[in-house]
Amino acid sequence: MDNIKNVLDRGPFFHGTKAELKIGDLLEPQHPSNYQNKKSNHIYFTATLEAAKWGAELAASESQERIYLVEPLGDFENDPNVTDKRFSGNPTRSYRSKSPLKIIAELGSWERHSDEQIQHMLTSLQTLREQGKDIIYD
């Protein structure tokens, strides 16, 4: 029986953050979220550079923005925070896993969103927070 139909995405996969990591490091659940002041039950990643850029740019830290190429070491699922709740299907190719992600490379350079785009997104997220709608289903 062919398992290809069970594969959600073949990647490559990215993780945007402001954490400084090394090749071979593992990203694991049960560490503080990049976006909320709580531990996350999952580790999140994407197969699009666009979504990884937002992850790096919006991470709560003053450190340098980074995008890593990652390898999922276990099963993963569509991220329910964007799949069908915000976008029909999974156009951002965003996923989450309870298994670690292995850092296999760091993107040396990539084009950031403009400061205006980032500020607009931050303002929109603040509005959601004020309305109590910044819920992450973890």
* CATH number (domain holding residue 36): 3.20.170.40
Residue 58, in any domain of the structure? yes
Domain residues for the domain of 52 are 12-130
Asked whether residue 114 is domain-assigned, the answer is yes
Decide which of 72 and 34 is more confident. Answer: 72
Whether 87 is in a domain gets the answer yes
Residue 62 lies in a domain: yes
Mean pLDDT of 37-61: 88
Report if residue 6 sits inside a domain: no
**What is the pLDDT confidence band of residue 1, given thresholds at 50, 70 and 90?**
very low
For residue 98, the model assigns a pLDDT of 95
- Radius of gyration over every alpha carbon of the chain, rounded to an integer in angstroms: 15
Count of beta carbons in the 10 Å neighbourhood of residue 6: 8
Average pLDDT of 13-32? 90
In a domain, 55, yes or no: yes
Query: Left if phi > 0, otherwise alpha if psi is -120 to 50, otherwise beta: which for 24?
Result: left
**pLDDT of 5 above 60:** no
Please report whether residue 71 resides in a domain: yes
pLDDT confidence of residue 133 = 65
Whether residue 19 is contained in a domain is answered as yes
Q: Supply the pLDDT for residue 85.
A: 61
Which whole number is the average pLDDT over 103-113? 94
Which secondary-structure segment (H or E) carries 103? strand 101-106
Alpha-carbon distance 75 to 90, whole Å? Answer: 17
Tokens encoding 15? 């993780």
pLDDT of amino acid 4 = 41
State the total domains in the chain.
1
